[in-house]
Structure 1
Amino acid sequence: MGEIPDDGRLHPAIIWISGGFGNDIGGVWGEHPADNDQAATPFRKAGVVMMFPSQRGGNGNPGYDESGFGEIDDILAAADFLAKQKGIDTNRIYLGGHSTGGTKVLLAAECSKRFRAVFSFGPALSMDNYGAEELAYDTKDKRESELRSPMNWLPSISTPVFVFEGKGGNAEMLQALSELSENPRNPYTHYYLIRGKNHFSVLQPVCKLLAAAVVADTTAKVTMDFGEALSALK
């Protein structure tokens, strides 16, 4: 977790779940390339406290990789820990993630109202979209996949969720999720397909907009809207 300023003020914070397989965390605190910033550095540079939790089985933690099942409990436990730290505004804890991390944070949003807003980059319809060779459960077991399928639980979302993907990335996944959120319509979900970006290059420019929005998000109700700003991205 990043350093929390000891200035007597309460600060916003975000928990970030990086992409890839396995539950370790690596070099998240250094500089990252503009076209693949999986550590979402704009939040840190904007002064938002960042937490990168390793999940079960990762970095020597007990348990084992469950590919998006028990890890959701780990994410919620990380939020509980973060909320107990001095200097954290408990009403302004956000959650974000990319790729497999984006899928996990979408699942977390579907089962909890713990976060003020959730930012999901490039999620899948289901964990089994990633391929059986990458996953720690029996993908032939229909129930195991159903439990890890964000597309099945979209109506349960009741906190603001913003989903992003580059047009050159997994655009069909975003389009499918968007259509499922329309039947029935869920007003808490927002989907953005970013032209001129792919699954990776979408991260840094969009996170810059999100970081600024988080810093400015001090009203009682979340009023974020990124449509106009995202359409202007180059």
Structure 2
Amino acid sequence: MKKLTSIIVLSMAVAATETVNAQTVQKRYEENPFTLVYDGAITRNEKGKVNIHPITYQLNGITIAANIYTPANYEVSKKYPAVVVAHPNGGVKEQTAGLYAQKLAEAGYITIAADAAYQGASSGEPRHTDKPANRVEDIHGMADFIAQYKGVDANRLGVLGICGGGGYTLKAAQSDKRFKAVATLSMFNSGEVRRNGFQNSQLDTVQERLKQASDARSQEAAGGKIRYAGVASITDEEIARTPTDLYREGFVYYYRTYAHPNSSFLYPMSSLLDLMTWDATTNIDLINQPLLMMAGSKADTKYMTDEAFNKAKNAKNKELFLIEGATHIQTYWKPEYVSQAVNKLVSFYQNNL
């Protein structure tokens, strides 16, 4: 009886905590007129300060929702360097991609952060489709749009990819030479992880998972229900039991402290047909632009940055920058780590744009 009472009390405590978290998240989202959820986000456009401009544009029949950040005292008659920012897997432009876009705008850059096609506030069905070709095309599309934006010097265009956006940025930069400087933060090679498992933990189930993806596609083609992979929701107890920093801290970031209603860890299982046969480092020797790759020294994803960095043999003046003490997710939000990353990015872009 005593044990049952303890379980009930624990369950009630977890439920109460989750209610508080949900209320806090909802308040953060609702109080910002641009629905930005990162710390220090813009709440209104003021003359003489960094401003945000929500926009939409068409890309291959999809309506892309994006935010453009302009520097303080922005004038259309002047010419500014610009940076395209690609968001993490499951993320949206209002989270860490927006934080870095705003910080770079504070340093004098015009920046764009867009929701990937089929994700966030962008259109496209099925929702949350996560195919590498789409994500790479999203980055090309951001370059198309920002290069024509008033005040942008198209000859000084850089790109920053965060987490999964970092892997897709490496792929986009292989062919897109409009990007004169290429940077990644906490790079995540989506294809490698979906194929091999995180830290190569699922090598013995590759064929089984490909069969599941194939079956899911057959079900979709027959008009059946879309089968989703990933995590829709999670309890505090489940978060606490998650063994890896990436996923444990990621669940807290995406479902608790910096949650956004447009953000989701779900994706159609059929997407694995494309993800598992893709790799961010294939043809990476085509990158001949200056390359900066940043990762937390304690990040359990650092191995992917190391692999890509070593393979990028033709990148100009390539540099691996470690953010001492940071885990993968901490580079998304923790002020002391964000400051290190932004300072390094500003120096890198100033030298190469």
* TM-score higher than 0.5: yes
Give the alignment partner of residue 9 of structure 1, picking from 74, 78, 102: 78
Unpaired runs of 5+ residues, structure 2, are 1-67, 198-208, 210-228, 231-266, 332-336
Alignment partner, residue 232 of structure 1: none
1:87 to 151, 154, 178: 151
Match of 1:25 among 70, 93, 103: 93
- Output the amino acid matched with 1:186: N
Map of 2:282 onto structure 1: 152
Q: Percent identity?
A: 19
Deviations 1:22-49 (A, max 9, x none): 6x433x5xxxxxxx78621421211211
Q: Which amino acid aligns with 1:209?
A: K
Deviations along 1:134-164, one digit per CA (max 9) or x if unpaired, are 45464764x75333x1122211112222111
The correspondence for 1:101, drawn from 165, 169, 174, is 165
Structure-1 separation of matches of 2:109 and 2:319: 22
Which amino acid letter does the alignment assign opposite residue 178 of structure 1? F
For 2:88 and 2:154, locate their aligned partners in 1 and report how far apart those are by CA, in whole Å. 26
Inter-CA distance 156–136: structure 2 relative to 1 (3 Å threshold):
farther
The equivalences for 1:201-220 within 5 A come to 201=331, 202-214=337-349, 216-217=350-351
In the alignment of these two chains, the number of paired residues is 204
Distance in 2 (alpha carbons) for counterparts of 1:145 and 1:101: 17
Query: Is this contact kept in 2: 1:13–1:48, CA < 8 A?
Result: yes
Q: Does 1:171 align with 2:298?
A: no
8 Å CA contact retained: 2:161, 2:183: yes
Q: What residue is the counterpart of 1:115 in the other structure?
A: 179
1:66/1:139 CA distance change after superposition, 3 Å: closer
- Separation in 1 of the partners of 2:89 and 2:171? 16
Letter of the 1:153 counterpart:
N
Report if the CA contact (8 A) 1:46-1:212 is conserved: no
Structure 1: gaps (5+ residues):
29-35, 224-234
Is the 2:298–2:324 contact (alpha carbons within 8 Å) kept by the matching residues of 1?
A: yes
Q: In the alignment, residue 211 of structure 1 is paired with which amino acid?
A: V
Cα–Cα, structure 1 residues 60 and 165, in superposed 2: closer, same or farther, change >3 Å?
closer
**What's the RMSD between the two structures over aligned residues?**
2.8
Code of the aligned partner of 1:179 = N
Which has a greater percent of helix?
2
Ranked by relative contact order (alpha carbons within 8 Å, sequence separation 6 or more), the top structure is: 1
Does the 8 Å CA contact 1:110/1:150 hold for their aligned counterparts?
no
Q: 1:12 Cα shift? A: 0.9
Q: Is the 8 A contact 2:83 2:111 kept in 1?
A: yes
CA deviation after TM superposition for structure 1 residue 3, in Å = 3.4
